[in-house]
Amino acid sequence: MIRKLSPLDRTIERILELSADTQIRRREIARESLAFYTLTERIAAYGKALALLTALQRSAQSAKSLYPLLGLKPCR
Of 40, 21, 20, the C-alpha closest to 30 is 40
Three-state secondary structure of 42-64: HHHHHHHHHHHHHHHHHHHHHHH
Q: From first to last of its 76 residues, what are the pLDDT tens digits of the chain?
A: 567 888 899 999 999 999 999 999 999 999 999 999 999 999 999 999 999 999 998 888 777 666 666 666 666 5
Whole-prediction pTM: 0.75
Distances (CA, A) of 60 to 14, 29, 30, 52: 19, 39, 42, 12
d(CA 32, CA 30): 6
* The pLDDT value given to residue 27: 96
Amino acid identity of 53? Answer: L
